[in-house]
């Protein structure tokens, strides 16, 4: 498997509009950015043969990609509509931060960006850092000034793995254009 093939396979993971709406900032991770995150994590040894949690998985695009790369992936999502649509093998319905999952090797996530509820991503980071030794996240570019201190005070080292333009589809009534380009970064925090 190469990164391009992974991206093509991730494109097949359907997205459905969740029932919880904009308050929870439910947006799909583009297959391009998902493939970038997963390939980088795979090359760094954090996917193949590992137990990987997709925190706030939506329909499970990241978890499905992790499975394709040899991980035992767990989808965790609060919205039952999205969880039902996920083709993932292991599904857990839970509300972050009340996560009934034991330790895992790696957490992958595209948490809320915090545009509707300030610091909406914070509970995701706190859970991720408590469960795994490696955390990968897609978030708006420039968030390292918030994410890195939170992780570093818990003994993690952090880095930005790249910057990307991610297309967000028109999902909500207030969206004016069919697609909107958003600048995002892939963040990695790890111990060891």
Give residue-wise pLDDT tens across range 132-163.
999 999 999 999 999 999 999 999 999 999 99
Separation CA 126–CA 184 (nearest Å) = 20
CA atoms within 13 A on the CB side of 181: 4
Residue range(s) defining the domain that contains residue 16: 3-190
**Mean pLDDT of all residues belonging to the chain:** 89
Task: Give 17-40 pLDDT, tens digit per residue.
Answer: 666 666 666 677 889 999 999 999
Separation CA 146–CA 119 (nearest Å) = 10
Residue 96 belongs to domain with CATH number? 3.40.50.150
- pTM attached to this predicted model: 0.91
Can you give the length of the chain in residues? 192
- Are 33 and 164 in contact, with CB atoms under 8 Å apart? yes
Under 8 Å CB-to-CB from 7, ≥6 apart: which residues? 31, 32, 34, 35
Does the structure show a pLDDT above 90 at 127?
yes
Separation CA 53–CA 73 (nearest Å) = 6
pLDDT of residue 25: 60
Q: Where would I find the H helices in 55-143?
A: 61-68, 80-85, 122-131
């Amino acid at each position: 498997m190469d990164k391009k093939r992974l991206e093509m396979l991730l494109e097949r993971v359907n997205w459905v509009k969740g029932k919880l709406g904009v308050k929870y900032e439910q947006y799909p991770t583009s297959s391009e950015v998902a493939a970038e995150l997963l390939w980088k994590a795979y090359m760094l040894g954090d996917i193949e043969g590992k137990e990987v949690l997709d925190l706030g998985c939506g329909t499970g695009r990241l978890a499905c990609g992790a499975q394709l790369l040899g991980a035992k992936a767990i989808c965790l999502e609060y919205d039952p509509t999205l969880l039902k649509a996920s083709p993932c093998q292991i599904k857990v319905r839970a509300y972050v931060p009340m996560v009934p999952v034991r330790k895992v090797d790696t957490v992958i996530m595209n948490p809320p960006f915090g545009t509707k509820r300030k610091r909406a991503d914070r509970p995701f980071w706190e859970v991720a850092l408590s469960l795994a030794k490696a955390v990968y996240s897609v978030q708006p570019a420039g968030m390292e000034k918030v994410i890195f201190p939170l992780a570093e005070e818990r003994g993690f080292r952090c880095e930005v793995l790249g910057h990307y333009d991610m297309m967000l589809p028109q999902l909500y009534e207030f969206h004016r254009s069919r697609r909107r380009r958003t600048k995002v970064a892939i963040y990695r925090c790890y111990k060891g």
